[in-house]
Structure 1
Amino acid sequence: MDSIPAEISRDIYGMPAFVSLTVADLDRTVDWYVNGLDFISLFTVPGPGGEPALVHLRRWRYQDILVRPGKADAGEGWTIGAMATLEQLDALAERARAHGGGTVDGPADTPWNTRDLRVTDPDGYTVVYTARRADGDRDARFNAMMEEEARRQLGG
């Protein structure tokens, strides 16, 4: 979780998991993720009339979002988790705030030794960028508790 991935890959690969969002305004949502949250638009699939039927967005490998236009209830309650590095969180927060159109909360430290940036897109879907806190900033008690639980589960 500490390494910085290479440039965003435009490779087409089998995705072990991905998120699909149905959104009221496709252009607005794609703009939010691309210009506000550092995703790329990998490709667009046209519908029968030529209008976009699906846009494939990507940030890092296996951080893929498929966006489709349509009527859907607001995305409240949905959270998408995405890995980031500590060095990226402040810049992502600043970029999303400058872009506007959604909400930005953080980055802030969590009790489980991560630093999280929570952003909500114009359709109400939430993306949480999570980075592992630096060694000197981690809670030793939490680490000890997790190590003890791992030993317990392994029967040791």
Structure 2
Amino acid sequence: MHEFYQMPLFIKLKVKDIEKSKEWYKNVLDFDSVFDFPGVDGIITMSHLRGIKYQDLMLIQDEQVNSSNSVIINIFSNNINRIYQFALENNTNIIQEPTVQPWNAKELTLEDPDGYIFTITESLDTDKKFDSVIDNVKDQI
């Protein structure tokens, strides 16, 4: 059973094939379906998906999908290598393989079936203080 809570922020994504998208989000990002809303014909028109708590997405079935590369959705993960492997197994367009960044993170950038871009971020040193991370980034510029 899923916990229900007020979502402080969530993203709605228009998708051409809601079932294909749900399968990709499950197989690659390990998002589960919380709720599917059928239209009057019984076909799913909206699907609420969730990764970990507060990682909620709404998929909206739409014939006209115009994804944009001006928005990149960032998701935190504790196991970026697992997601990378799932992405490879599901023939995902990998924009950037897992790469260590100067801001104390390893990042992986993927494209979903509708062209939405996701960066998956994993902390490298969870004990590192914010000021130390910022100082390290300044040294890299």
For the aligned pair, the TM-score class normalised by the smaller chain equals: 0.7 to 0.9
> Which whole-Å CA distance do the structure 2 matches of 1:99 and 1:69 have between them?
21
> Residue 63 of structure 1 corresponds to which residue in structure 2?
55
- The superposition leaves residues 102-137 of structure 1 with CA deviations (integer Å, 9 ceiling, x where unpaired) of 312321111222111111101111111111113799
Cα contact 2:15–2:65 (8 A) shared by 1: yes
> Residue 38 of structure 1 corresponds to which residue in structure 2?
30
The answer to whether residue 9 in structure 2 is matched with residue 22 in structure 1 is no
> Which whole-Å CA distance do the structure 1 matches of 2:10 and 2:134 have between them?
30
Aligned partner (choices 115, 119, 123) of residue 114 of structure 2:
123
Which stretches in structure 2 are left out of the alignment for 5+ residues? Answer: none
The answer to whether residue 139 in structure 2 is matched with residue 134 in structure 1 is no
> Residue 82 of structure 1 corresponds to which residue in structure 2?
75
The answer to whether residue 118 in structure 2 is matched with residue 93 in structure 1 is no
TM-score, normalization: structure 2?
0.84
- The superposition leaves residues 26-51 of structure 1 with CA deviations (integer Å, 9 ceiling, x where unpaired) of 11111110112211111101111111
Indicate the SS of the match to 1:81: strand
> Which whole-Å CA distance do the structure 2 matches of 1:50 and 1:135 have between them?
46
Deviation at residue 142 of structure 1 after TM alignment = 4.9
Cα contact 1:77–1:125 (8 A) shared by 2: no
The structure number with the bigger radius of gyration is 1
Cα contact 1:54–1:67 (8 A) shared by 2: yes
Which stretches in structure 1 are left out of the alignment for 5+ residues? Answer: 1-8, 148-156
Higher helix residue share: 1
**Root-mean-square deviation over aligned CA pairs:** 2.6
> Which whole-Å CA distance do the structure 1 matches of 2:136 and 2:25 have between them?
37
> Which whole-Å CA distance do the structure 2 matches of 1:98 and 1:56 have between them?
24
> Which whole-Å CA distance do the structure 2 matches of 1:111 and 1:145 have between them?
7
> Which whole-Å CA distance do the structure 2 matches of 1:135 and 1:43 have between them?
33
> 2:72 corresponds to which letter in structure 1?
T
What is the aligned-residue identity percentage? 28
